[in-house]
Structure 1
């Protein structure tokens, strides 16, 4: 029998109100039970760290065939590494991870560091700027378009494409429906892209090379590149923006990083734990599974609440505080197990570059009220005006 939701059975995890401020709802659900059935939407929410991690690590029972919360997108994603379970998953993923291996990513470090440093130096000279447009979006955009080898007007479209690609993973609400046309442009482009449209020596070209070697189906190339554009862009932008906002809100923690740059990896782990860039993902439950006395029936849609698990006091002490020395390397924001984020090495490299440049060049900065860009699946800022900045 499902655990009753005690006063919040009609909660919609994808309403504007919850997406703008999910943590009170997540906390209430987490204290109710490790799994809570939400009859209004029909999903089974996994709320605590241990069951979330266990579900992510068990693709046999918690299948990625329903990573989205609507049938249309789950059908569209069929056959991609995002929505494929082992053993087929590994074959598709290898074409993605080959170009994002630690060795491959290390080769990019000097160039990314230089880009971030130049951007921060120019912004300090400017004095006031928008931290999202001018830094959190600007660096990943500069990196990813060249990495994939995008050319022509496609480069101007990928920010909107990435935002829409996450929105359409939600349930069939107004936001999902409104974003299907833009996400459709991305799918159309990905399905018809040709190798010669991508720059020589790019990772995009390497995907096609893997198909030519027979390692992946040729028809999978576009959808793998699609994942670079969608998953690799929006969550990195969200994470860098969240980092800047958190350092502005917690100047004492920024000071710790300035004084000891070796804390940068720990600080970014804490950013990811505190503000998961993708708070929720779907899974298809393939067989009846019991969690702490509650049975989730086969065929059910699970809502895996990564952000709720990241703030579970059963796993993290004082989880609602932001502490850069915590180093929560086991946070859930990059997933876990088979579907752990393939691009996390690149995301870390970009975030480390921004945080490092800020730590070197900035003594203090102040921000005005930021605005969130509501998305069904990602949690990010749309604007964050830096109104004052003091160079180090």
Structure 2
């Protein structure tokens, strides 16, 4: 058995959130599992260990919540991500048909047209903010329409999503400041009725499942919240990170333009390099041996997606290099196991639609100084001044 490695590393300082990768490397190199004394939790940073834990929900339970503070866990109880089988499977099953490959194929043409219209508008301007004008504008339009919420809710929904992920952090000022917005989201959704939603929309289907007794009535708001929140950030941050990476690696952009079949692997590489969701937590149900380090039962464990997706043990010595030819399909930016992101097919389709539309018009990108968005769980940009050159 390996001795427990304890550290005072703070993954939630402004400096760490701006660039967590050196700290992740220190955690990976220190031990398979490390005790973060500052917050009283454990952390898994190596790819194989994180993936194995995510796939073992019986040992690493989500049923005690996935946030690091009790207030957020109390507010978000009943979310899919905070529920284990068998009820987890019931909740997830409500929208299984809506998110199936067959259903998404029906949406593809409309998504591609929406992406083309938006991309044409920003490219014609020549200069724009790749975050506000592109990365946020597209998915919020798509998600609100699918769920059945009014388009006027866009700014509020974006604020809700940011707050929902911030609220899951430890008890620090950034977390406490997010709680009122998280509560505002739940209060807004609690006032909704089935009749307020377009028939057949995701939201309507959720209410209908409650009407038919498939799910409990008190599961409606958490389920709505899950899709409003999770449906935005992955796509927003992947699109903006992709624009930045392609600006910094023009050879990769030329390669993609010449071979559009690389778009899916490019999307995988973007979310591997900049995992939009950096971590979730679980609680051990028993003493568990992680490569010789024993984590006792009842301990909260951080699954560091962002670290696992840069682990040299998995990705080789060039793990920090951006290469769209890399086979990154088995990244864990969308999680793994029963809690793997239910909407990842939609996120991939949205990303492909935007990058395909950009490839039709843009010969190269130039970006100014990016402004980082600091969030306890989400890694993304707040602003990315962008100039495009058509050709």
Give the TM-score range, shorter chain: over 0.9
Does the 8 Å contact 2:250/2:364 carry over to 1?
Answer: yes
Q: Distance in 2 between matches of 1:217 and 1:103?
A: 28
TM-score scaled by structure 2?
0.96
Contact 2:112/2:353 (CA < 8 Å) preserved in 1?
yes
Deviations 1:285-308 (A, max 9, x none): 111111122111111110111111
**Counterpart position of 1:190:** 189
- Quote the Cα distance in structure 2 between the aligned partners of 1:197 and 1:16: 41
The answer to whether the 8 Å contact 1:67/1:283 transfers is yes
Separation in structure 2 between the aligned mates of residue 147 and residue 224 of structure 1, nearest angstrom: 14
Q: TM-score, normalised by structure 1?
A: 0.96
1:174 and 1:92 mapped to 2: Cα distance?
32
Q: 1:23 aligns with which of 14, 21, 24?
A: 21
The residue that corresponds to 2:91 in the other structure is 92
Whether contact under 8 Å (2:65, 2:77) holds in the other structure is no
CA contact (8 A) 2:141 2:151 kept: no
Q: Decide whether aligned partners of structure 1 residues 92 and 2 sit closer, same or farther in structure 2, where only a CA change above 3 A counts.
A: farther
Change (3 A) 1:137 1:152: closer
Please give the per-residue CA displacement for 1:178-217, whole angstroms capped at 9, x wherever unaligned.
1111111001122332111212332211111222222212
The residue aligned with 2:73 is 74
For residues 212-227 of structure 1, what are the structure 2 equivalents within 5 Å? 212-227=211-226
Query: Does structure 1 conserve the Cα–Cα contact (< 8 Å) formed by 2:5 and 2:31?
Result: no
How far apart are 1:2 and its partner, in Å? 4.9
The reply on whether 1:240 has 2:239 as its aligned counterpart is: yes
**Which structure 1 residue ranges, 5 or more long, are not aligned?**
none
What is the alpha-carbon distance in structure 1 between the residues aligned to residue 378 and residue 197 of structure 2?
Answer: 28
Is residue 281 of structure 1 aligned with residue 280 of structure 2?
Answer: yes
Q: Which aligned pairs between 1:1-392 and structure 2 lie closer than 5 A?
A: 2-5=3-6, 9-64=7-62, 65-151=64-150, 153-317=152-316, 318-386=318-386, 388-392=387-391
Distance 2:303 2:3 in 1: 16
- Contact kept, 8 Å, 2:144 with 2:151, in 1: the verdict is no
How many residue pairs get matched?
388
Structure 2 unaligned segments of length 5 or more: list them: none
What SS is found at the alignment partner of 1:96?
coil
Give the Cα separation in 2 of the matches to 1:129 and 1:139: 14
1:41-86 deviation digits (Å, cap 9, x = unpaired): 1111101001100000001111112311111122222222110011
- How much is the aligned-residue C-alpha RMSD, in angstroms? 1.3
Q: Deviations over 1:299-332 (max 9, x none)?
A: 1110111111111111112111000011211001
